[in-house]
Amino acid sequence: MGKKHIIEKNQEELVKEQEKIDKAVNKERSGESPVKTTSAGSQGGKIFISSSYNNTIVTLTNSKGQVLAWKSAGSVGFKGTKKSTSFAASRVAETIANICKKIGVVDRIEVLVKGIGAGRESAVRTLISQGINVVSIKDVTPIPHNGCRQKKVRRV
C-alpha cells in the first residue's frame, strides 16, 4: 500500500483552532454572539452536508441559518482523491459532532443532504452514532427540470 496523505497539524495550529472554538462558545452562551443570536442550544440547529465528487463539506448552523462552524475533508487533513472518500466524510462529520457537543447544540438537529458524492450516507451515520439527536434527514439535491434550450436542428 502507499503512504497515507493525512496532514498532521502541529500543536500551535491545534491550540489556535481550539481557542477560536472556545471564544465562539463563550460568546454564544453569553448571548453576544458574533452573528447576533440567542443561545443556539435552546433552539436546536441544522447541519448541511454538501457532498460532491471531489469533497465533502459539513456546515453547522443555528435554527435561523446563521453559520456556527464548518469543516471540509480538506480542512480535516485529507488531500487529493482521499477527500472524496466516505471515510473522509465520516471524519468531517465526527469533527462537527464534537463542535456541536462543545457549543451545546445536540438537542434537535435537522440534517440537510445535498449532492451525489460518496460521503452522503457515511456522514449522516457518523452524526447519529456520535450521539446527536437527529430529528429529520432531508435531501435537498437540486434536480434540473426541462433544462436549457436545445440546439436548432441541423439542416443539410
At 93-142, the pLDDT tens digits run 999 999 988 888 888 899 999 999 888 999 999 999 998 999 999 999 99
CB neighbours (10 Å) of residue 80?
9
pTM as predicted = 0.70
pLDDT at 3: 66
> Could you report the per-residue pLDDT of 13-54, keeping only the tens digit for each?
777 777 777 776 666 556 544 444 444 445 689 999 999 999
Lowest-confidence pick of 37-41, 64-68, 79-83, 126-130: 37-41
Total count of residues recorded for the chain: 156
The three cell numbers locating residue 107? 438537542
Q: Where are the domains of the chain?
A: 39-139
Phi, psi (degrees; rounded to nearest 5) at 146: 80, -50
Q: Which CATH number fits domain 39-139: 1.10.10.10, 3.90.1150.10, 3.30.420.80, 3.30.565.10?
A: 3.30.420.80
Q: Determine the angle formed by the axes of helices 86-103 and 11-30, rounding to 10 degrees.
A: 50
The three cell numbers locating residue 15? 491550540
pLDDT at 86: 93
